[in-house]
Amino acid sequence: METKKQKLSRRKTYTPKNAPQVLGSVVLSLNREETLSEQVSKTLNNNSEVDQQQHTVVQTISGIVYVQNKKGEPLMPTTSPKARKLLQKELAKVVTRKPYTIRLLVPCRNETQTVTLGIDSGTKNIGFSAVTKKRELVCGEVKLRTNISDKLTERRMYRRNKRSKLWYRQARFLNRTRTKKAGWLAPSIQHKLDTHLRLIKKIKGLLPITNTVVEVAQFDTQKLQNIDIHGVEYQQGQMTGYNNLRAFILTRDNYTCQICKKKEGIFDIHHIIQRKDGGSNRSDNLVAVHIKCHKAFHNGKRNHVFVKPKSFKETILMNNVWSRVVDQLQCEHTYGYITKEKRLLLGLDKTHYNDAFIIANGTTQPRTNQIEFIQKRRNNRTLQIDRKGFAPSIKLQRYNIQPKDLVWINNKVYECNGSHCKGSRIMVNKKSVNINLVQKHFARGGLIC
């Protein structure tokens, strides 16, 4: 005869799909004050061993649907069954599919909870997490574009080629860097700053964020190169006392070729990381070599391995981005060493969304599934294409259907690869399709989930 305790331990009243080791109940109500809230009452397991295991295992909640009121303002999210009932009764409509968001068609009480958003800023990835006192509502990462500088170099090449044809173009004035306003940033840095702000705005459209915390980092690039630097030495660089950069490089290398190790001959200055690969004119990236050795090295007739210098692009970018994000949002900020200490205490892996969870004051709340956003170009730069026998094709306007957008053709969903023929046709599955066959179009924007 089984005892009552054994029956309860064998009974699984609620088991999340992605956390099979949890046997106890999980209450999925995300907003007790909302009319959309759904409370689940399940029988708890009385086994003390299972209860002790529940506190050590990180639970994961799936099936969260984000909700907006009739005016488009964010509310506390609900569960998939509740959202399905609202859609079936035509009390709500779908706004976006990824992440799944619905908008109510009837008025409701706008009662929300305190939601803290944590942002782990970075140069290649951004981590985000929104946490309440009871659970995590959203988390994930955004992969930033890293080809902005390459695209600018490509555009510079196209423009130089266009001007070499001596075509008339309207005169342009006051378009140089020296005429920029105060606070001007390089396009690659400005793009990352705009992405941080756009991401925070997007999350605030999903959840009623009450507090935003950003992790900041301030690096001293001179201290990274020379740990003993202090005082007036910050104003006295390596080239103090030299007429130009060439004189400093030759003196530093003792008038010795760094390839053949000989002193006699005419010297040239070589970039270890070439300019086309993003190399700079810093002294660490320059070495003295003979002209003959220099030509032989670039022609592939001479092999030599130079020690590549350290790059401080990411540190400089972080110094420019985090301060402007905090100033524009007027939000709180924290530091990386605080995040690392808390993350090690909780035993979490080193990921951007885990750091964002810590930044948002997350502790032992149940986690949600991660969302991954990928950034895409909103418009291709096919401004002019020369074709044999035809006049140059000039792109006069921005087409409605952009790459990566979703289109419905013959009741099937496809991802558009681009437009051509002046926007009259699109590319789908490596095939050209007339735009008139498109039944429905969904613009995915710059952040694709």
Choose the most confident range, by mean pLDDT, from 28-32, 42-46, 49-53, 433-437. 433-437
Mean pLDDT of 242-255: 89
pLDDT higher than 90, residue 359: yes
pLDDT higher than 90, residue 384: no
CA pair distance 265, 415, nearest whole angstrom:
60
Return the H-helix or E-strand segment holding 294: helix 291-298
β-strand partners of 104: 92
What integer pLDDT is reported at residue 167 of this predicted model? 61
β-strand partners of 449: none
209 band by pLDDT with thresholds 50, 70 and 90 = very high
For residue 349, which phi and psi values (nearest 5 degrees)?
A: -70, 160
Boundaries of CATH 3.30.420.10 in the chain? 116-146+186-219+313-375
Residue with more model confidence, 291 or 55? 291
pLDDT higher than 70, residue 45: no
What integer pLDDT is reported at residue 287 of this predicted model? 92
318, 121 Cβ separation under 8 angstroms: yes
What integer pLDDT is reported at residue 5 of this predicted model? 47
For residue 276, the tally of other CB atoms under 10 A from its CB is: 9
Task: Judge if pTM exceeds 0.75.
Answer: no
CA pair distance 215, 361, nearest whole angstrom:
12
Mean pLDDT of 146-152: 85
Could you tell me where the DSSP H helices lie in 89-147?
A: none
Buried b (16+ CB within 10 A) or exposed e, 93-108: eebbeebbbbbbeeee
Query: For 286-336, what is each residue's pLDDT tens digit?
Result: 999 999 999 999 998 888 888 888 777 777 777 777 778 888 888 888 888
CATH architecture of 384-448: Roll (2.30)
CA pair distance 354, 295, nearest whole angstrom:
50
pLDDT higher than 70, residue 25: no
Mean pLDDT of 61-79: 87
pLDDT higher than 90, residue 418: no
Hey, what CATH topology would domain 116-146+186-219+313-375 get? Nucleotidyltransferase; domain 5 (3.30.420)
